[in-house]
Amino acid sequence: MSFRKLSEIVEMADRKNKEFWEPVIEEDMKERNVSFAESFETMRQMLHAMKEADRGYDPLLRSASKISGGDGAKMEEFRKNGTSLAGDFILLVMEKAIKMGESNACMKRIVAAPTAGSCGVIPAVLLSYEEEKQVPEERLVEALFVAAGIGEVLANSASISGAEGGCQAEIGSASAMAAGAVTYLEGGDSQSIVHAAALALKNMLGLTCDPVGGLVEVPCIKRNVSGAVNAITSSQLALAGIKSAIEPDEVIDSMRRIGKLIPECLKETAKEGLAITPSALRAIKISS
């Protein structure tokens, strides 16, 4: 897809009196020379892969580094004991985000959404929403096209790579994509969708990429939780009629500029930040 601004998608959807996701699928059809049915089915398979990864979580697995694994089961137990301050839906989102991140660390099959390190955000939000609202699968596929359109703009106009733009480009992008997707599912219009994405991204600007041992585990897995919950709260703000004071496309431009300013030592090199703390060094020594 070739979208470089969220406003392009909004304008195209408004001009044709269509939903936000429809120009996105039309662009995919044109780019890959496929039919509507073929494009839709490809995205449906992405959704099925997310569901399979969620169902296939193994609480007994541990990553090769031994740093990750089992926390998803702890979150599930905590959710079920009914003592949390948070509601069941948010707890389920948190649980699924951890489980997906741990599955990635344990080398199980996941969907990079938009990256492997941020693979838990979108599935956590959408699969939890499906369980909560019992929506038809077709609606979830449409929501994934919403997320894909936002992700395309982020990739073209900023970055979705932690090595290039810091973790704002990975978890931040995933959170923005999920915020737009769930806003669509809740009946939000195109303006609500892009402002939800902007609100989510603003909360993640400047986030460093400082993985312990260079592995997509610490702090990445728990950041998936933050990104997923941030997507929900940002969506709720937008659905309440609250808009980002900074235009959505300007937020994305800001992420690009900030990414260039983040020093190389804080962009997936494990040379600074959390990666060089005593706790991190001990963990790596134990795992090696």
Cα gap 159→164, rounded to integer Å = 7
Question: How far are the Cα atoms of 32, 67, 187, 270 from residue 64, in angstroms, in the given order?
Answer: 38, 8, 43, 18
Tokens of 13: 């959807």
| Tens digit of each residue's pLDDT, the chain (288 residues) | 589 999 999 999 999 999 999 999 999 999 999 999 999 999 999 999 999 999 999 999 999 999 999 999 999 999 999 999 999 999 999 999 999 999 999 999 999 999 999 999 999 999 999 999 999 999 999 999 999 999 999 999 999 999 999 999 999 999 999 999 999 999 999 999 999 999 999 999 999 999 999 999 999 999 999 999 999 999 999 999 999 999 999 999 999 999 999 999 999 999 999 999 999 999 999 887
Report how far residue 21's alpha carbon sits from residue 56's, in angstroms, rounded to the nearest whole number.
Answer: 29
Tokens of 201: 């991204």
Among 18, 20, 73, which residue's Cα sits nearest to residue 196? 20
Nearest to 228 by CA among 72, 107, 108, 105: 72
Handedness of CA 40, 46, 50, 56 (dihedral sign): positive
Q: How far is CA 282 from CA 53, 171, 241, in A?
A: 31, 26, 47
